[in-house]
Amino acid sequence: AQTVTQSQPEMSVQEAETVTLSCTYDTSENNYYLFWYKQPPSRQMILVIRQEAYKQQNATENRFSVNFQKAAKSFSLKISDSQLGDTAMYFCAFMVSNTNAGKSTFGDGTTLTVKP
Amino acid sequence: NAGVTQTPKFRVLKTGQSMTLLCAQDMNHEYMYWYRQDPGMGLRLIHYSVGEGTTAKGEVPDGYNVSRLKKQNFLLGLESAAPSQTSVYFCASSRPQAGYTQYFGPGTRLTVL
């Protein structure tokens, strides 16, 4: 079974600064997807960024980027130029490709507070 | 497009009562999921479906039943509610062609007294 660990239950950052959220996972699979989802206080969860394990290049989406270290089974999220709207709970998720109906395993989340 | 919608948004039940949560998606997604989220924890998969007429158990299925009679709808039932089922319930959908990204509903906050 796959496990996803987010070791930072809570983090805070000053507006306009950079913050990195950690995620590690455990799997014996070689082909998989990794995701970061954001859950703002309004509760609806949305995708922030996705990484396919076979791609060596780290995914980026505007101010969000990942540091994917496949050998170390690490998938951290970097938020640059933090904004007040980034305040949310962030979940790391793992999914084995093709074989399991798209089921994802989620970490317990990191609550990020951006301070003005 | 409305995306994924859930009905109701809030509900209070007494122990032993039954209820059904409705999830609807208008994105023509094949896969649908029901999760529960408890304080300080991530999402735990209750049941899921890979297509109309098919359902399967997830990580925490006990006390819940599901049905997917139409592709766009996924129902979660509680036959005899227990206080341990107090939680926030999320529905999600996905499809392989979209890289399995899950699209979530706004959640249902259920309290069982």
- What is the rounded end-to-end Cα distance, in angstroms, of chain A? 41
Give the per-residue pLDDT at A99. Answer: 66
**DSSP letters of A67-106?**
EEETTTTEEEEEE-S--GGG-EEEEEEEEETTTSTT--EE
Residues of chain A with Cβ-Cβ distance to B104 below 8 Å are: 37, 44-46
Residues of chain B with Cβ-Cβ distance to A47 below 8 Å are: 101-102
CA distances from A8 to A5, A73, B6, B71, B103 (A): 9, 17, 30, 38, 25
A43-56 pLDDT, tens digit per residue, is: 789 999 999 998 88
Give the per-residue pLDDT at B1. Answer: 72
Backbone angles phi, psi at A43, to 5 degrees: 90, -25
Nearest by CB: B31 against A46, A52, A101: A101
Supply angle C-alpha A106, A110, A111, rounded to 5. 135
Cross-chain Cβ contact B102/A46 below 8 Å = no
Token digits of residue B107: 């959640």
B3-54 pLDDT, tens digit per residue, is: 999 999 999 999 999 999 999 999 999 999 999 999 877 899 999 999 999 9
Chain pair A-B, CB pairs under 8 angstroms: 55
Nearest by CB: A106 against B43, B48, B88: B43
Residues of chain A with Cβ-Cβ distance to B90 below 8 Å are: 45
**Average pLDDT of the residues in B68-93:** 96
A81: closest CA of chain B, how far (Å): 25
